[in-house]
């Protein structure tokens, strides 16, 4: 004779004196309200610091602003208020925030997110990491989601990390261009012809690339990492 497990399960629940469907509904409703409240705080910019219980913090999740700045510059990320984040905060991040709030008996504020610029709603001048401010330029890593940030991104954006790397990139590119130019015969008639061609090619490449870079509203990583504008 077959056993109906659903019927058996319902009988067990009926005998459970501590089980009340109304309590389940109440807990569910409270959880939904709390998540809505957290989402509301994430959508508001705030400079408030959070007063965590340091005995309950994970030291591996505490970072100074200089650590965050370096990662943002290396991978060309922005570090901005969560209110500007337009791709939506996942449910697991809200759960993690609620767990922290319950453990530390606080309401978290001052959320920041490190992510590529395209993940934010940026204004015109004229794989994300969610942080909560601890004050004194320290931040606590609340949650990380996504894994679509390529390991190659660091090297692809290396030429625009700062002016020094941009100049070095132009020098290397000029060297490759000059290798394709036959200057051996020219050097027989003009002293230092190779050097002259190299310097001329470098100057041309540098100014053309620099002009194109700034005319498209770009900035070096070192300046753009915490800017809320797409062209500043």
**Cα-based angle 58, 78, 44 (whole degrees, multiple of 5):** 75
- Burial of 119 per CB tally in 10 Å (0-12, 13-18, 19+): buried
CA-CA distance, 222 to 8, in Å (whole number)? Answer: 64
Residue-wise pLDDT tens digits, 47-81? 778 889 988 889 899 999 999 999 898 888 999 99
User: Residue 113 — φ and ψ, nearest 5°?
Assistant: -130, 135
- Whether residue 182 contacts residue 150, with contact meaning beta carbons closer than 8 Å, is answered with no
Per-residue pLDDT, averaged over 116-142, amounts to 82
Contacts 24+ apart (CB under 8 A), 165-169: 166/209, 166/210, 166/213, 166/220, 167/206
Please report which residue ranges of 116-192 form alpha helices under DSSP H.
Answer: 153-156, 163-179, 184-189
The pLDDT mean for the chain works out to 80
Integer angstrom CA distances of residue 208 from 112, 170, 173, 179, 194: 36, 10, 13, 20, 21
Per-residue pLDDT, averaged over 85-102, amounts to 88
């Amino acid at each position: 004779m077959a056993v109906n497990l659903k019927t058996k399960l319902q009988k067990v629940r009926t005998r459970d004196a501590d089980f009340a469907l109304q309590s389940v509904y109440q807990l569910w409703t409270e959880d939904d309200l709390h998540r809505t409240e957290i989402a509301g705080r994430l959508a508001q910019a705030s400079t408030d610091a959070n007063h965590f219980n340091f005995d309950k913090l994970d030291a591996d999740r505490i970072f100074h602003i200089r650590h965050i700045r370096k990662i943002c510059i290396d991978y060309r990320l922005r570090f901005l208020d969560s209110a500007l984040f337009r791709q939506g905060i996942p449910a697991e991040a809200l759960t993690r925030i609620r767990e922290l709030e319950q453990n530390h008996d606080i309401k978290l504020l001052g959320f920041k997110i490190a992510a590529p610029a395209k993940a934010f709603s940026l204004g015109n001048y004229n794989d994300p990491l969610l942080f909560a401010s601890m004050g004194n330029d320290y931040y606590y890593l609340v949650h990380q989601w996504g894994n679509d940030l390529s390991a190659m991104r660091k090297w692809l954006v290396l030429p625009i990390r700062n002016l020094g790397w941009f100049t070095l990139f132009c020098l290397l590119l000029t060297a490759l261009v000059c290798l394709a130019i036959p200057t051996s015969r020219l050097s027989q008639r003009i002293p230092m012809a190779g050097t002259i061609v190299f310097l001329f090619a470098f100057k041309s490449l540098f100014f053309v690339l620099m002009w194109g870079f700034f005319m498209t509203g770009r900035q070096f990583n070192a300046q753009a990492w915490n800017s809320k504008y797409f062209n500043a």
